[in-house]
A and B are shown apart, each in its own frame.
Chain A
Amino acid sequence: MSDISNNAATTPLERIQSAFRSFGLPRLIIAGMLLVLLIAAPFVGANFWMQITNVLNRFTWNGVLVLAMVPMVHSGCGLNFGLPLGIISGLLGATLSLELGFTGAASFLMAILLSTPFALVLGAGYGWLLNKIKGGEMMIATYVGFSSVSFMCMMWLLLPYHKADMVWGYAGKGLRTTISLEGYYDKILANFLQIRLGDLVIPTGAILFFALLAFLMWAFLHTKTGTAMTAVGSNPVFARAAGINVDKIRLLSVVMSTWLGAIGILVYEQGFGFIQLYMAPFNMALPAVSAILIGGASVNKATITNVVIGTILFQGIVTMTPTVMNNMIHMDISEVLRMVVSNGMILYALTRKTEVTR
């Protein structure tokens, strides 16, 4: 209602005000912070283009993980705190691909292929569970993630992996906590069509890969099933009346989120250069959740633009603060700042008066 009245009286000032309001104060603060950091970087002696390269790289590592939030938000399942489940599917695919002896680009493709069945099965189970407990998704998603991570901690030790550069040297069994990807798919996307302009390095392949997935997601959301998903998220009662099978659509969205989580961790690994097992996936959901929220999403509304803006803003803050702060005041408060900003953002979103679907 206030929107209409604002449009009626379109003084430029009011229009700017309403634009600010829809953008949200926390987002504005974070964008302003990043701007200050970017301006301050050259003055405190940090290499500006190197900083931009870092932010770009971090964006490509995390972009797909953030994209994995979109389907579940659209179908009204809330923020996917259960992302670790998807990550685990990805890790299973990655370790299997290495165990089976694939190298180079083939290992990346095989990792994607091998993780897909795990993501489908785990995602289907997870989606079935979330359909049983509509309304309490986020809390249960968190603990499904935690339980599955701690369950896999046992499995990484017990599963019969034997490849020498993956298992503990002295015991000959049990996977290591970090596995180097050198010779496998380390930087396989980032180095594809890489562009170097002095200090600025653009990981074209990784950006293209993210763009492809983001485009597919955008296209999907405009298909018949995609629109049905949005309808389920915005008004389940109406959707049911229109003859949409709500449970089936929700299940599909959870499977998609889980699969994207699996792909997301593989893309993250190719950038980072290591597979991290055991407790590493434990806290990977929170950064992705807060990134999409910073990008302007809410508990029940998210777009591809939110993903792109949010990932750039969040990763920008995370990568810029340590260098700039260190050079400026010789005190590294970036970790603390990251915790306050990212969790503050999630809290802000949770306290908005958006009704969760039942």
Chain B
Amino acid sequence: MKNQTSAGKKVLGFLGSNSVPIMFIIIVAICIPLSGFSPVFLINEIITRMGRNIFLILSLLIPIMAGMGLNFGMTLGAMAGEIALIFVSDWQIWGIPGVVLACIMSIPISVLLGWMCGKILNASKGREMVTSYIISYFTNGLYQLLVLYIMGAIIPIIHNSIKLPRGYGVRQTVGLLTMRQSLDNALAIRVAGVKIPVLTFLIIALMCLLIVWFRRTKLGQDMRAVGQDMEVARDAGINVERTRIISIIISTVLAGFGMIIYLQNMGDMATYSAHSQIGMFCIAALLVGGASVDRASIGNVFLGVVLFHLMFILAPKAGGVITGDEMIGEYFRVFVSYGVITVALVMYETKKRRAKAGMAAQLEAAQREEEQQ
């Protein structure tokens, strides 16, 4: 009898802590037959999107480890990657060398932006997420100033295919045809009509190993300590501010690489809008995979990408079948992305409050005991 109830509790606990992924599995299971897509098409799409997005989402893991929440400032890294890509495509460096050069060039820009972001976040402890979210808007303004007015006017841009006809500023879209899927096509294999971009997956696997290794280093341990409790970490002799800045810098640099991988797969770049939604989609995907604001694993990243992007592919078609209007499906997937983030944030905050209240109650009880003695 006792065993049964505890087993029941375990099942309930499992369902409770994984409610978001389970809900998505149900949504996807309903949508697949409705949409009428063939399995080969779906698998192909998912594999492409995995290669495209996973690296970007991996960049979110380290700030979560350092207790800084979801890094909405990953957009900064995306912008750094885009700036590097504009230069590389202007210098006409093609294929894999172009991608590698763009990655190298994005590093100093990412480090600078990440350092700035980390500094600001240190001045606003306790509201890192809303601040990093505003930082992404603020930096978007600086990015536009650079790309729209300074590039071509002060920083030389050679080719007219990139420069606006007015003589300065960068065009709405920058074609990356010369680099298009250069990573994905190298070493690609086809299995039963499904293309697998082996090199991209190798890079992702390497990154996952690096993250696992990083967790065990001194710096990684420090970050975990800072994430648990800043004051305790400070007493233990950890430089909290420096550790937090480093975690944001790493995240920004990785996001820069991720954006370059993302854009080489897409094959062209919307100069002024490619980065604007990327933070939201990556964060939503991570949360769909079962992560929360203070806990995320590599497994969450993979599960999240598969489920979130399946929903993304299926929603317009399924929405069209159900309501007769594909726009409904389009709006539905946007709604779900925002809704998932909202629910995750609410769950995190209520949990934090409950923990705090529990601690206060414990303290009170201890004090009462002391008084009685």
Contacts and interface: CB of A to CB of B under 8 A. Distances in A.
A285 to B, nearest CB: 11
A133 B137 CA distance: 25
A346 B331 CA distance: 29
B345 A136 contact: yes
A183 interface: no
Nearest to B128: A139
B209 interface: no
Contacts of A147: 335, 338-339, 342
A193 interface: no
Interface stretch (B9-17, B50-58, B346-354): B346-354
Interface string B335-371: 1011101100110111011001000000000000000
A120 interface: no
Interface in A327-354: 331, 333, 335-340, 343-344, 346-347, 350-351, 353
Contacts of A358: 356
Given A139-B345, A340-B142, A150 B149 contact: no
Interface in B305-344: 323, 325, 327-328, 331-332, 334-335, 337-339, 341-342
14 contacts: A133-B353, A136-B345, A146-B338, A154-B331, A154-B332, A157-B327, A158-B328, A333-B148, A337-B141, A340-B138, A347-B131, A350-B124, A350-B127, A350-B130
A350 B123 CA distance: 8
B277 to A, nearest CB: 11
Given A158-B328, A351-B124, A133 B131 contact: no
B303 interface: no
Given A143-B338, A337-B141, 7 more contacts: A133-B345, A136-B349, A140-B345, A157-B325, A340-B145, A347-B134, A350-B131
A150 B348 CA distance: 22
B35 interface: no
A59 interface: no
Interface string B117-160: 00010011011011101110110111011001100000000000
Given A142-B130, A286-B137, A339-B138, A154 B338 contact: no
What 7 pairs across the A-B complex have the smallest Cβ distances? Answer: A339-B141, A133-B349, A343-B138, A340-B141, A136-B349, A150-B335, A351-B123
A88 to B, nearest CB: 13
A147 B140 CA distance: 22
Contacts of B123: 351, 353
Contacts, number: 115
Contacts of A146: 338, 341-342
B133 A139 contact: yes
Contacts of B331: 150, 153-154, 157
Q: Is the interface of B mostly helix, strand, loop or mixed?
A: helix
Interface of B: 120, 123-124, 126-127, 129-131, 133-135, 137-138, 140-142, 144-145, 148-149, 323, 325, 327-328, 331-332, 334-335, 337-339, 341-342, 345-346, 348-350, 352-353, 356
A346 B134 contact: yes
A336 B141 contact: yes
Interface centre among A158, A333, A346, A353 (most CB of B within 10 A): A346
Nearest to A333: B149
Given A139-B129, A151-B335, A331 B328 contact: no
A304 to B, nearest CB: 25
Contacts of B137: 286, 339, 343
B140 A158 contact: no
A347 B137 CA distance: 10
Nearest to A146: B338
Nearest to A335: B144
Given A142-B133, A331-B149, A347 B120 contact: yes
Nearest to A155: B331
Contacts of A337: 141
A135 B350 CA distance: 10
Contact of B346 (A133, A174, A286, A340): A133
A347 B141 CA distance: 13
A347 B132 CA distance: 9
Nearest to B72: A139
Contacts of B131: 347, 350-351
A224 interface: no
